Amino acid sequence: MCGIVGYVGGQQAAPLLLEGLGRLEHRGYDSAGLAVLSSGKGLKVTKLAGRVRALEAALPKRFGGKVGIGHTRWATHGPANDVNAHPHLDATGQVAVVHNGIIDNAAALRAELADEGVELVSDTDTEVVAHLVGRSDADTLEAKVSAALRRVEGTYGLAVLHAGFPDRIVVARNGSPLIIGVGDKEMHVASDLAALVRYTTTVVHLADGEMATLTATGYSTYREDLSATDRRADTLDIDPASYDAGEHESFMRKEMLEQPEAVERTIRGRLDERFGTSHLGGLDMDARDLRAVRRVKVLGCGSAYYVGQMGAQLIEELARVPADAEAASEFRYRNPIIEPDTLYVAVSQSGETVDTLLAVQEVRRKGGRCIGLVNVVGSAIARECDGGVYLHAGPEVAVASTKALTTMYVGFALLALQLGRVRDMSIADGKRLVAGLQRLPADLEEALALEDELVPVAERLARAESLFFVGRVCGFPVAREGAQKFKEVTYRHAEAYQTSELKHGPLALIDKTVPTVAIVPEDELADRNVGALHEIAARKGPLVVVTHPGVDLGDVADRTIRIDVPRNEPELDPILLTVPLQLLAYHAARHLERDIDKPRNLAKSVTVE
Ligand code: G6P
């Protein structure tokens, strides 16, 4: 969700902070703001509703200061307007705070402050922190922030400036990521590595309940009661260029094209050709533990939920263990029965999605075992799980997930192989799938090569106000993900349905203005799927069929756009069928001149319920 940056050192802070905010914009982008401090001149703040480039344009000429904090917001408390944008100030204008997360007792604290005569100017929960820091009579900024946080319940990653302490930034973390970047006579802080890697790859990940003070000469870490912690910096082996779009016109396109190499990283060192299985050391489960699993329950949100459905089908098919997926955002609220012999699998690109995190906590609180399929190393969900599989997709910046999603599917395939091979899956089948996974990067490359052919199709689909995406069994989650991607980036109404259910309702909506994108894999249901296509064609519904070369579409093909996707092993087909749907969504959105990487109202990681 929102993004935080901070800088203290020998350079002017504002340009560095703006650059960092630009890199965090995918996390939230309805408002932005900066505060800088220079000794003797006090605090300067500029903030507004709108994007970072609007903030840059609005900065006064004199916005000097070598200490500063910045924020890009995705509104939760109060609408996106200038007043609700961060940083928030205390009543004296001495204190500035940027914050990610939610202060649960904000209403009570607001009422209390109002009773004490404090005038609250914004609708936000964050403003209370600024007032609490400003009203503390402790001697040091660290003690003031600590005193304020003692009053606060909720989640936060926050950074505080105080005009009375112009050499430092004090930061605190509880449930919302904060990373310190250690530079040469300068220190950075950000809620995401993306904003740091251009300056340094030597970083300190703060733990929940931890605070830090940053000055030009170094950092110190301590608990909220101010007792010291000794958190060392790590130098990460990451390529800063992987956080840039480079020559690509958008991150989404770059990330779609990166899918083959991302999958190579996911499978690297994890396939066992000899025994036709996989090695997933991070699971921390031996053969006996894996055999004891009687059921698998996948939990995720958005695209992660849809790929979770694909993954559950894969596990059930390969390992013959009952498996299903559920939206993590719903799971916790129905008092779920947690079974000791069920393996819960949380799936998340960011590892931060709070609905998924809370579902993991619910499972573990009730004694269940939960593993994670997570992309971001060291993220909250990864740390909360009993073990897991890092996806190694590389940084994903576009809000609409493509390469991370593909590696999630591969993660499920690796898990299914291991669960299957300690059960009844034959070595021959295991070897067949291992070979299929090894071929997958090349097949993804081939699927991506359909791009030119898909551009005119996408442009035709872009004209429709409303579309259906249909599929059956393994094709249904593919259709759901296809509809999700299409609606996220085009803002068109795209609805997924089981092909078999069309005649039980949605057929009423089909006419020549409502296209259907049908997923028809080459499987035992292909003929039945083609039958349903006739029902659509008879109502003059335009049809785009994503299928395999071996499928006979009969005479329905005369009125149909056919997109042939390369085949791998049947179990791995769903992810290849997903690729043209990404490309269709992308090119439809491009035709409509949408802001593809930052669709309206969405954010890359949703850290609020
Ligand atoms: C947000 C994004 C979706 C994403 C979902 C889950 O809602 O807009 O595109 O699929 O979060 O994100 P995660 O990081 O948990 O995979």
pLDDT along the chain (609 residues), means of 10: 92 96 84 91 93 93 94 83 94 96 93 96 95 97 98 95 97 93 97 92 93 97 96 87 88 97 97 96 94 97 97 97 96 92 97 93 96 92 94 94 98 98 96 98 98 96 97 96 97 96 89 95 93 91 96 86 95 97 98 93 75
pLDDT reported for residue 576: 97
**350 within ligand 1 shell (Cβ under 6 A):** yes
**302 within ligand 1 shell (Cβ under 6 A):** yes
Question: Is residue 301 flagged as an active site residue?
Answer: no
pLDDT reported for residue 245: 87
**379 within ligand 1 shell (Cβ under 6 A):** no
Which atom from ligand 1 is nearest to the alpha carbon of 404?
16
Determine the Cα–Cα distance for residues 469 and 479; give it in Å rounded to an integer: 5
Determine the Cα–Cα distance for residues 98 and 259; give it in Å rounded to an integer: 35
Catalytic residue among 2, 301, 370, 474: 2
pLDDT reported for residue 608: 67
Atom 4 in ligand 1: residue holding the nearest Cα: 302
Determine the Cα–Cα distance for residues 490 and 158; give it in Å rounded to an integer: 34
Coil, strand, or helix at residue 152?
coil
Kindly report whether the global pTM for this prediction surpasses the value 0.85: yes
pLDDT reported for residue 77: 73
* Extended strands (E) in 165-209: 169-174, 179-182, 187-190, 202-205
pLDDT reported for residue 530: 92
**In sequence order, what are the residues at sequence separation of 6 or more whose Cβ sits closer than 8 angstroms to the Cβ of residue 158?**
4, 97, 98, 99, 100, 101, 126, 129, 171, 172, 173, 178
pLDDT reported for residue 606: 74
220: which strand partners? 213
- 139 CB-contact burial (10 Å; exposed 0-12 / middle 13-18 / buried 19+): exposed
**605 within ligand 1 shell (Cβ under 6 A):** yes
Q: Which tokens in the block code for residue 201?
A: 């790859």
pLDDT reported for residue 1: 65
